[in-house]
A and B are shown apart, each in its own frame.
Chain A
Amino acid sequence: MNSVFRIIELFKISLLEIGELSYFAGRFFKEVFKPPLEFKEFLRQCYNMGNRSLLLVGVTGFIIGLVFTLQSRPTLQQFGAVSWIPAMVSVSIIREIGPIITALICAGRIGSGIGAELGSMRVTEQIDAMEVSGTNPFKYLVVTRILATTLMLPVLVFFGDAVALLGSLMVENLKGEVSFLLYFTQVFNHLEFFDVIPSTIKTFFFGFAIGLVGCFKGYYCKKGTAGVGLAANSAVVFSSMLLFIIDFIAVFIANIFYDV
């Protein structure tokens, strides 16, 4: 009986959290067009999130492209379909693997960073200090970060996809003597509008979710310094879960249009 009550309690807490997150998102949309625009802080966040994630996204993308091609090559070779590798790899990476892997990396790096930074500002009363000086901490800290993640994630995904295709090209070049030109001609011959556009649109939502959850967890961080760690940790867990849900919805919606 006790476990039933605990499940009900957990369910209640989850619903409450979803409600609070929705309210937080609503506040973001309310504040986003209000002056001051805090453009300098927005650019600083774009630099921090975009430029400083390039190496991690690049290395991960390169290895994924490389491994994916290495793993699928023997099977395709058995069916005499090695020439399909550029098409298969590019469609898989651009439609699904690139966006979701890059988003998960960013949830770990950027989401946890935002959660920890804002959490630490909350427990050391820096957010309260902004509030009492009559400035709007939500606008300065939250709006700029969410906008930066929303705009930077598609750029990072684009970069990650490109590097992943280069990794795949390297394997094809070494094993099958496929040239750069031939590989990318094959890639662009098989890529279609519905491969690129829906996956690009969903990356904006991925970025928004990472920024939103990171800011939410950090902004309402409690329980002192232990709460900072908890905020960073739960920002990663919650945003990763949200990414898969968004991905499912995006693929579902894209498939409706694609089937037509």
Chain B
Amino acid sequence: MDSISENKKPIVVIKDLKKSYGDNLVLDGFNMELNEGENLVIMGKSGSGKSVMIKCLIGLEEPDSGSIEIMGKNISELSREELDELRTEVGFLFQGSALYDSMSVRENLEFPLRRHTKKFGFIKDTKPRVMEVLESVGLAHTIDLMPNELSGGMKRRIALARTLILLPKIILYDEPTTGLDPITSKEILLLMMSIQKKYNTSSLIITHDVDCARMISNRMILLIDGINYAEGTFESLSASTDPKVKAFFK
């Protein structure tokens, strides 16, 4: 485990998380801690419950049992208003970008900003803030474009900008490089790293892309059979002799 994991305090704590759909047990007592300033990668096969776990974390799915604490707050005990307030501290990058297709890039970015007057106050002119985050992702020139005029990589960057506009302390990435070509994938990963430095965020990255894990992770968890089967740095896990762990790094 590297210095980041040892020195910083946990910002997200998941304990004994269980979730099933009918007879299909997806998460069977999953445990996890994300430390401040850390890039934690969760790897698992398709259908292993990675996305379910991340959706439970942000409150989009309700777990059957277990506890989830974000910045010291147990999310199951929060009211709707308190949860919405907490969500401004947690950004979420969707696998398919999920840009609002009836709005321009500018409106996509303004949408959350204008609705969080408690955190940001009433912002009369949102353009400077919008331009700042667009410049962070290198797409300032797309401000007046519609999502259908953007490429897949550009959509992912704009989605990241929309996440950043609320100045989150934690960013959750759901398969950030899926569906992108290797060059664009690398660009997105470099962008994620530069954003973490610039905004001092903690990141939880869900992926099955080994290259992504190698490049970005401080620490990794392998999610197998609904539990955190193995945990460690990329180097330690890739050197493992356990056949289930080895299968990921072949």
Binding site for B on A (CB under 8 A): 36, 117, 121, 124-126, 128-136
Contacts and interface: CB of A to CB of B under 8 A. Distances in A.
A56 B244 CA distance: 62
Given A130-B100, A133-B92, A134-B86, 10 more contacts: A124-B96, A129-B98, A130-B111, A131-B59, A132-B60, A132-B87, A134-B84, A134-B88, A135-B84, A135-B111
A136 B84 contact: yes
Nearest to B88: A134
Interface residues of B, number: 26
Nearest to A128: B60
B99 A126 contact: yes
A134 B166 contact: yes
B130 to A, nearest CB: 15
Contacts of A136: 84, 115
A205 to B, nearest CB: 28
A135 B83 CA distance: 10
Best-surrounded residue of B83, B86, B95, B115 (most CB of chain A within 10 A): B115
Contacts of A121: 100
B107 to A, nearest CB: 11
B214 interface: no
Contacts of B94: 125, 128-129
Contacts, number: 60
Contacts of A129: 92, 94, 98-100, 159, 162
A176 B59 CA distance: 69
A210 B50 CA distance: 38
B111 A133 contact: yes
Interface string B33-68: 000000000000000000000000011100000000
Contact of B96 (A125, A130, A131): A125
Given A36-B115, A125-B94, A132 B100 contact: no
Contacts of B102: 117
Contacts of A36: 115
Interface in B152-174: 159, 162, 166
Interface in B68-107: 83-88, 90, 92, 94-96, 98-102
A136 B116 CA distance: 11
B182 interface: no
Contact of A135 (B95, B98, B101, B115): B115
B85 to A, nearest CB: 7
A126 B100 contact: yes
Contacts of B159: 129
B238 to A, nearest CB: 32
Contacts of B85: 134
